[in-house]
């Protein structure tokens, strides 16, 4: 590598590193809502997260091996919570809140996702909705990043 190439390489690396760090920075934790406000299974709460809409749901006990939901003790029982970034994995529109079939429907091209686990519900090869990592502190749900 000659001197000019070496200097160009160093300049590029110096500029790229802060940009890469900024792009990889995790979203700031967000205080969503008190667990007690999600009074029944399938109740939900919308909130802003990482520049878009997100959805927190209280769901029934998830299938064995599920890694997307969070189980917390509240109201004298185990409560299961899951949250998704509301960005359709087809082309990025904003899916709806759950319908009567417990599906989130995208208004742009009709993709549907299971509210329970975010998987595609319509046979299309769309990836699941992106799950948000949750924590509960003193009875309050916080969105802390992605799963
Ligand atoms: S962007 Fe959601 S179905 Fe196309």
Q: pLDDT band at 144, cuts 50/70/90?
A: very high
Ligand 1, CB cutoff 6 Å, lining residues: 88, 90-93, 106, 108-111
CA of 112 to the centre of ligand 1 (A): 9
For residue 2, the model assigns a pLDDT of 55
Instruction: Over range 79-93, report the average pLDDT.
Output: 97
Q: Which atom of ligand 1 is nearest to the CA of 88?
A: 2
Contact 143, 132 (CB under 8 A): yes
First to last CA, the chain: 42
Picking from 4, 12, 48, the residue whose alpha carbon sits closest to that of residue 27 is 48
Minimum CA distance residue for ligand 1 atom 1? 91
Domains of the chain (ranges; CATH) run 26-146 (2.102.10.10)
Q: Is 96 helix (H, G, I), strand (E, B) or coil?
A: coil
**Claim: this prediction has a pTM higher than 0.85:** no
Dihedral class, residue 12 (left if φ above 0, else alpha if ψ from -120 to 50, else beta): alpha
């Amino acid at each position: 590598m000659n001197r000019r190439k070496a200097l160009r390489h160093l300049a590029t690396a110096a500029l790229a590193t802060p940009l890469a760090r900024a792009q990889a920075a995790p979203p700031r934790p967000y205080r969503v809502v008190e667990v007690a406000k999600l009074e029944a299974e399938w109740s939900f709460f919308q909130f802003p997260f990482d520049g878009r809409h997100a959805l927190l749901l209280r769901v029934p006990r998830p299938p064995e091996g599920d890694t997307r939901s969070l189980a917390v003790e509240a109201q004298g029982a185990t409560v299961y919570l899951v949250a998704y970034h509301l960005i359709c994995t087809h082309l990025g529109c904003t899916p709806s809140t759950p319908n009567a079939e417990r599906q989130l429907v995208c208004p742009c091209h009709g993709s549907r996702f299971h509210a329970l686990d975010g998987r595609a519900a319509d046979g299309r090869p769309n990836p699941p909705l992106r799950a948000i990592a949750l924590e509960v502190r003193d009875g309050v749900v916080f969105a802390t990043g992605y799963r």
